[in-house]
Amino acid sequence: MARPCPVRRRLPRAALALALPALAACVQLPERTVTVYGGERAIDSQVWAPVDEQWSFGIETDTRRPDTGWGIELGTMHSEGAAETFIVGLGVVKADATADEYYAGVRKSFGGKGLRTYVGTGLTLIDGEYQARTAGGAIDDSDMSPGIYVHAGALWQAWGNVELGLDYRRVFLAEAHMFGADGNFDGGQLSLILGFGF
């Protein structure tokens, strides 16, 4: 039996090795960033006072095409606040509130290494809870509502794949009905952000 020529067996491998750099130049893999948020959220004071200003934090991931800048994003946010106020007839009222948000949407990024800006929008689901305590007892209520969010920000490359930046976010059309009053979860959020690229 004739033995196969070793040169012939090496030819396909050599051709593949030569073609890989050309293929890599033509095909751009998606870029991904995981971003950590920390800031302050201001929600509708009609329902949430005196805890309508809350500390917030969250985590988000986005995946985008480097050639067009278009991509998708999804994440979660949490905010909470505590305050005291005096109400005639009730005395000192201690209030605590939390809001948890889960969202997904589309994002458009501009720029590249060094400075990258972006805008994003999508659908969000907010779950809020409010508790008020007085010397005579405590009451609490909660509600959940869908809404629409829009945000924009800028990221500066700090070192390697680590980015620092600012993000401003608004939520619209998220209704809240608590303690017999109609209000909403609408509001703005300003955050410092820390991104990790992959």
pLDDT tens-digit series, residues 17-73: 555 555 444 556 688 999 999 999 988 777 777 777 889 999 999 999 988 999 999
What SS3 class is residue 127? strand
Q: What is the mean pLDDT of residues 162-170?
A: 95
Find the domain containing 129 and state its range: 29-197
Residue 152 lies in a domain: yes
Is-contact 197 164, C-beta < 8 A? Answer: no
Residue 101 lies in a domain: yes
Residue 91 lies in a domain: yes
Please state the domain count of the chain: 1
- Tally of helices (H runs) and strands (E runs) in the chain: 2, 10
Residue 19 lies in a domain: no
- How far is residue 170's CA from residue 42's CA, in Å, rounded to a whole number? 10
Residue 8: per-residue pLDDT: 47
- How far is residue 97's CA from residue 82's CA, in Å, rounded to a whole number? 7
Q: Where residue 159 sits, what CATH number does that domain have? A: 2.40.160.20
Residue 3 lies in a domain: no
7 pLDDT tier (thresholds 50, 70, 90): very low
Q: What are residue 174's DSSP bridge partners?
A: none
Residue 22 lies in a domain: no
Residue 12 lies in a domain: no
Residue 116 lies in a domain: yes
What's the pTM value of the predicted model, to 2 decimals? 0.77
